[in-house]
Amino acid sequence: EVQLVESGGGLVQPGRSMKLSCAASGFTFSNYGMAWVRQAPTKGLEWVATISYDGSSTYYRDSVKGRFTISRDNAKSTLYLQMNSLRSEDTATYYCTRVEDAFDYWGQGVMVTVSS
Amino acid sequence: DTVLTQSPALAVSPGERVTISCRASESVSTLMHWYQQKPGQQPTLLIYLASNLESGVPARFSGSGSGTDFTLTIDPVEADDTATYYCQQSWNDPTFGSGTKLEIK
């Protein structure tokens, strides 16, 4: 059974940093691209970043370029999202997803609140 | 960015047929996918590449379309289908529609 379990969220002040992790199991992690998708409270879904199966290619939405870094450790089957210079508009539930044509598996999500 | 437009809400009775539409601002070929999100839960994939039913998803769900116009059909609708439905394109940087909230009367 595919499982994606996010961790590392919480309350953070504007301008500070936070790192999210996503532990994957139930599939060969190193064979799949992975992504982060977020959802602000009561809002819709918004793609954040994607990383290729081997980590050689990364892609970001414009609003997070230069502030967020997606990475992975295939030996640990873990996906990461390093978030720097956080803004109030980054407040959202962040979902870890597997990429296979579509986002075919999703974690339960982790809440990130950016507030003073 | 490719903008995806969905109608905001629909209300139908159990047993009826419902179609949810998604229009793209430019052609995305068949690189369109559909998700269901129930309140308080993560989204789940229903349809990928416009018309392919994800494993484990009931055959009541189907998808069609290509280019700029896509449709998700649920036939017949059941009470458990109460949810918000999102379309998403992967032709270029992924974007999602704003979601269609489906109410079962």
Q: How far is CA B88 from CA A15, A78, A101, B36, B91, in A?
A: 31, 25, 11, 11, 10
**Contact B90/A101, CB-based, under 8 Å?**
yes
Residue-wise pLDDT tens digits, B48-75? 999 999 999 999 999 999 999 999 999 9
**Contact B42/A103, CB-based, under 8 Å?**
no
B43 contacts on A by Cβ (under 8 Å): 45, 95, 103, 106
- Can you list the residues of chain B whose pLDDT is less than 70? none
- For residues B49 and B27, give the distance between their C-alpha atoms in angstroms, rounded to a whole number: 13
Residue-wise pLDDT tens digits, A53-112? 999 999 999 999 999 999 999 999 999 999 999 999 999 999 999 999 899 999 999 999
Tell me: pLDDT of A23 over 90: yes
- The helix/strand/coil state of A89 is helix
Residue-wise pLDDT tens digits, A42-62? 999 999 999 999 999 999 999
Q: CA-based diameter of chain B, in Å?
A: 37
User: Which of B45, B49, B98 lies nearest to residue A103, judging by beta carbons?
Assistant: B45
Cβ–Cβ < 8 Å for A48, A36: yes
User: Which of A47, A105, A109 lies nearest to residue B93, judging by beta carbons?
Assistant: A47
- For residues A79 and A35, give the distance between their C-alpha atoms in angstroms, rounded to a whole number: 8
CB–CB contacts below 8 A, A to B? 50
Buried b (16+ CB within 10 A) or exposed e, A92-102: bbbbbbbbeeb
B44 contacts on A by Cβ (under 8 Å): 106
- For residues B105 and B52, give the distance between their C-alpha atoms in angstroms, rounded to a whole number: 28
